[in-house]
Structure 1
Amino acid sequence: MPDKVIDTPALAEKFAAYAEAHMPGASNLRVIAMNRIHGGASRETFSVDIAYEDATGPKTKGLILRRDPPDSLIDTERRIEFAAIRSAYGKAGIPAPEALFLEIDEGPLGAPFFVMGRIEGGTPLNPFRIEDVEPHRADVGREFFRYLGAIASLDIEGTAISEEIDTPSPDQCWKRELDYWAGEIRSNAREPQPVAEAAIRYLSANPPPPAQKLSLVHGDFRTGNFLHDGEGHINAILDWEMAHIGDPYEDLAWATDLLWCGNDQERAAGFIPWPEAIGIWQEASGCKFDPAAFEWWSLFAHLKGLGIWISSARAYADAKNDDPILAWSGWFTHAAHELMLASRLAPKHGVEL
């Protein structure tokens, strides 16, 4: 088989040696393609094709390498992401990739990393161009909310992720997440954040109902973080780096945040009518829709967004990561979420904008 494009030959050589040592029975393993996938900034992501031999003959396999960068848009722990993928893989029909190797030592590739199987035959959907999925928008939307609910339906007891992180009590999920993102905003802000601070005060003083159940929370389930086959089906759910155990309403609110709806607020996540979307999610998750819980978590989603964008801007400004998506996030998406928060908080304080 002729070699394909290898963007980073030195990394490819190191990866081949590592993969051969960790794939039972593999020999003469070589990397035949390695290409950087741009777009996310929490890990350096590479698509890798390998060729090798085992007892049954020559083989090829597609992999995804996720390596820690010097600094990232989101400060996450690779062990947790790896455990989240393992917890979802093969469960409830969720199209999660197969988690293969986890390496916490910097030695083999210069930074900690993990490797998962590559799911073939899909393309990402730009959250700002949802119309590109037509004429299959509704079909994709139904699968979107079914898989969102399926993740929430998983029994977390004894799962890989439950062995890596603590499980909060149902009445403390909100506080843990609010405290975390408030800390991210305050430690990374380069200028005053009055809208964010107003939101933190409001959310703290008006907590949501306790979680109906504790679930695996993907943390970044949205358009842009799945692959679809062009025929109306989602064939891979990606980017589990923000996964944790918590209230499934956090995922529902983030997935339907207005930033990801493609300027179509009449349809949930820009896909299908809200009643249909909520009905699918309820059936798949086993949760009953609670408007009060959704209101709190949807406000929190805007604040969480600000936390991500403020952190990304700080990393770029401090020259810790030169990926331009961090600069763009610190400008455009920050402004969008700040305006969303301000417009929703103002009426609660008797202010007209």
Structure 2
Amino acid sequence: MDDNLRDRIGHYLRAHKPEWVGCQVLSVQRIHGGASRETYRLSVQYDEAGVAVTRGLVLRRDPVSTLIETEREVEYAAYRAFSGSTVPVPEPILLEREAGPLDRPFFVMAEITGAKAASILAGDPYAPHQAKIGAQFFTILGHIAAADLGAMQLPPCFAASSPTEVWRSQLDHWERVIDDDELEPQPVARAAIRWLRRNPPPPLARLSFVHGDYRTGNFLFRDDGTIAAILDWEMAHLGDPLEDLAWALDPLWAHHNPARPAGMLSRAEALALWSQASGLAINPEALAWWEMFASLKGLAIWISSAKEFQSGTNTDPVMAFSGLYCLPYHNEVLAERLHRLAQEGRL
């Protein structure tokens, strides 16, 4: 890694964490695979209150080009809001809004050690702890939905639409993404958008904190089946809690077994755990709307990734994978959902 970057990070930490006396950055390692932030693993050494400390940190920096346009303050605020709660997250340490120190804005958080994330391509990544991990996964998601917004002290970037309009605001956003980034006509996406607009969901049960990308691959778990941290909150917002549940249930994240959401539990078990933890009853009609929306949202993201890669703006292999595998996958899922509606006379 560039020694200049390591030196600049060290200078920043010494200036902004004076209690970390003599802070030195021992190493900086790029973690590849993210599509919306550049992620680096840091090893640092310092004295604090007379005690020598060596620890790991993670730095998340805005990239030159990104698949998902979000404010880094959104992700940092989410970590801060849930720190110390029943929703496990890394400890947030520093947020830098200005580009000067490291060329682009960034934030720093504690590294979670002794845990790993699962690839969406893995056949059965949670064995032999599928039930244990699944129970935690859907319970934690319920706790996010149940969080007290009034106690969170969220920044202005979390301003919400009217509770009656959150579905429209999300649909408008992802339709604009498709409008801006499609490289060819998207008839399946357009048909889904038409259906979603003509058939708005029932009123939401509660305006909630929404993670925005709660799925397999975006959490760390230990070998004993304990979930250590929920990651990747860059799409967090306020909205309908069923949006998160529908995204977690999407078949793309099922590890090739759609009958077991997220590759962990049966659908009935997942819904029961979420409902108990959130304190909310699930309206089947509303959940069906958000599941259609989830597959459309996924398609919009993969359309953007294909454009980024094909234009050469971002040549990270994750962009190519998203365009070549995930895009046709969600096209097929949406087409199947629309076909079922047509068979039922509801299209």
Which TM class, normalised by the smaller chain length? over 0.9
Q: Does 1:24 align with 2:22?
A: no
C-alpha displacement of 1:331: 1.6
Name the CA distance, whole Å, in 2 between partners of 1:275 and 1:306: 26
Which of residues 49, 58, 65 in structure 2 aligns to 1:55? 49
Q: Distance in 2 between matches of 1:180 and 1:48?
A: 35
Match runs of 1:75-154 below 5 Å: 75-91=69-85, 93-154=86-147
* Corresponding residue SS for 2:330: helix
2:271 is matched with which residue?
A: 278
**What letter matches 1:25 in structure 2?**
E
- In 1, the alpha carbon distance for the partners of 2:95 and 2:289 equals 36
Tell me the amino acid that sits aligned with residue 139 of structure 1. K
What secondary structure, in the 3-state scheme, does the structure 1 residue paired with 2:273 have? Answer: helix
TM-score, normalisation: structure 2: 0.96
Q: Secondary structure at 1:60's aligned position in 2?
A: strand
Amino acid in the other structure paired with 1:333: C
Distance in 1 (CA, whole Å) between partners of 2:19 and 2:341 is: 63
1:38 aligns with 32
Task: Determine helix, strand or coil for the equivalent of 1:344.
Answer: helix
**How many angstroms does 1:61 deviate by?**
2.1
Q: Aligned partners of 1:208, 1:144: CA distance in 2, in Å? A: 25
Cα offsets for 1:130-151 (capped at 9, x unmatched): 5122111111111100111111
Shift of residue 318, structure 1, vs aligned partner: 2.3
Q: Does 1:209 align with 2:202?
A: yes
C-alpha distance after superposition, 1:74-102 (max 9, x if no partner): 111111111111111112x1111111111
Counterpart for residue 64 of structure 1: 58
User: Greater CA deviation, 7-16 or 215-224?
Assistant: 7-16
Number of the residue aligned with 2:342 = 349
Please tell me whether the aligned partners of residues 86 and 160 of structure 1 are also in contact (alpha carbons under 8 angstroms).
Answer: no
Assess if the C-alpha contact under 8 Å between 2:97 and 2:106 holds in 1: yes
Deviation at 1:244, TM superposition (A): 0.5
User: 1:127: how far off?
Assistant: 2.1
SS in 1 for 2:77: helix
TM-score after normalising by structure 1: 0.94
> Is 1:294 equivalent to 2:287 in the alignment?
yes
How far apart are the structure 2 equivalents of 1:311 and 1:256?
22
* CA separation of 1:310 and 1:146: change in aligned 2, threshold 3 A: same
Q: Please name the residue that 1:314 is paired with.
A: 307
Identity %: 45
Quote how far apart the aligned CAs of 1:129 are. Answer: 1.6
- Give how far 1:66 is off: 0.3
Give SS of 2:327's match: helix
Q: CA RMSD in A?
A: 1.5
Q: Please state how far the C-alpha of 1:57 moved relative to its aligned partner.
A: 2.7
Structure 2 counterpart of 1:182: 175
Return the alpha-carbon distance in structure 1 between the equivalents of residues 56 and 323 of structure 2. 33
Inter-partner Cα distance in structure 2 for 1:263 and 1:132 = 11
CA contact (8 A) 1:41 1:74 kept: yes
Matches within 5 A, 1:325-340: 325-340=318-333
Equivalenced residue count is: 345
Q: Distance in 2 between matches of 1:129 and 1:300?
A: 25
Q: Point out the more displaced range, 160-169 or 189-198.
A: 160-169
Per-residue CA shift, 1:236-264, capped at 9, x if unaligned? 11101110011110000001100000121
C-alpha distance in 2, partners of 1:12/1:47?
A: 11
Partner of 1:4: none
Runs of 5+ unmatched residues, structure 1: 1-6
What is the CA-CA distance between 1:158 and the residue it aligns to? 4.3
- Counterpart CA distance in 2 for 1:158 and 1:317 is 44
Stretch of structure 1 that moved more, 56-65 or 242-251: 56-65
Does the 8 Å contact 1:152/1:217 carry over to 2?
yes
In 2, Cα distance between the equivalents of 1:160 and 1:84?
A: 10
CA distance in 1, matches of 2:170, 2:117: 28
Q: For 1:244-299, what per-residue CA distance to the aligned partner results, in whole angstroms no more than 9, with x for missing partners? A: 01111000000110000012122222211222211110111111111111100000
Deviation at 1:319, TM superposition (A): 2.1
